Amino acid sequence: MQELVLDQPGRTVGEELEHGAAQAETRREFEERLVECGPLAYRVARGVLRNTADAEDVAQEALLRAYRQFDRLRDRTRFRAWLVRIAFRLALDRLRSGKRRELRDTLWSQPEYHPPAANAEDIAASNEFQAHLDNALAELPGKLRLVLLLAAMKGHTIDEIAGMLGLSTGTVKSRIFYARRKLAEKLRCHANNIKRR
């Protein structure tokens, strides 16, 4: 009696199982990093875009892109830096497209994003200053802006930023210093005007 053997095109059953296990392992490993680095991707995107909805879209896209190419990342300890770069680049692309500029401007002026102030005048002044800061920040070169945003985030030391971006600590410090000086030059007159009122 002849035994019938079913030939499966493509992978064999063993290879299929192996592939499934590898994918599950990748997914588990990625899940850990998603919880740890997801907020970072969002904050980087929001620092550039200044809009919650756009930033969430970009962060999601950055995380999915990182997952799709996760196997190519040999040194998994570099995931954080890698994700920051992806999120930053995608956010800049989204910003340049300018499709949602009006909506972004509207949402940016919402008081929920600003620290509580003592009275209505302070809130108004704070909002106005924040809007000017926002514009000045947008005019900064990308490399200065990213370093400044990462430095302003909670829990990021200069050494961590340097490691994340592959720069020396000296370069990070000088970029932060130079970026703050640039912002001060742009905001000096606005700050004086707000104070005089």
Partner 1 sequence: MPCQQHKEALIEAAANGAELQGDLRAHLAGCTDCRATFEEERSLFASIDAGLHVAANAEVPASLLPRVRTRLEQGAAPRRIGATSWLVLASAAVLFVVFLAARALWRPNAVRQPVEMSAKVPPPEHVTAPSEKQAAESPLGKDDVSNHQLVISKHHAALVAAKTTPDVLVLDDQEILLAEYAEQWSLHKHPLLLAQQFDATILSPLQVEPIQIDELGVKPLAEEKLQ
Contact set with partner 1 (CB under 8 A): 10, 23, 26-27, 30, 34-35, 38-39, 42-43, 46-47, 50, 52, 55-56, 59-60, 63-64, 67-71, 113-115, 129-130, 133-134, 137, 148-150, 152-154, 177, 180-181, 183-184, 187-188, 191-192
CB 33 within 8 A of CB 73: no
**Minimum distance, C-beta of residue 2 to partner 1, in the bound complex (Å):** 31
Q: Which of 89, 182 has the CB closer to partner 1?
A: 182
Q: Which of 3, 87 has the CB closer to partner 1?
A: 87
Q: Which of 46, 94 has the CB closer to partner 1?
A: 46
**Minimum distance, C-beta of residue 98 to partner 1, in the bound complex (Å):** 19
DSSP string for the chain = -PPP-PPPSSS-HHHHHHHHHHHHHHHHHHHHHHHHHHHHHHHHHHHHH--HHHHHHHHHHHHHHHHHTGGG-S-GGGHHHHHHHHHHHHHHHHHHH-TTHHHHHHHHT-GGGS---SSHHHHHHHHHHHHHHHHHHHHS-HHHHHHHHHHHSTT--HHHHHHHHT--HHHHHHHHHHHHHHHHHHHHHHHHHHHH-
| Residue 178: Cβ-neighbour burial (10 angstroms; 0-12, 13-18, 19+) | middle
Q: Which of 67, 169 has the CB closer to partner 1?
A: 67
**Which uninterrupted H or E stretch holds 120?**
helix 120-139
**Minimum distance, C-beta of residue 122 to partner 1, in the bound complex (Å):** 12
**Minimum distance, C-beta of residue 30 to partner 1, in the bound complex (Å):** 8
Q: Which of 101, 138 has the CB closer to partner 1?
A: 138
**Minimum distance, C-beta of residue 191 to partner 1, in the bound complex (Å):** 5
**Minimum distance, C-beta of residue 102 to partner 1, in the bound complex (Å):** 19
Q: Which of 99, 180 has the CB closer to partner 1?
A: 180
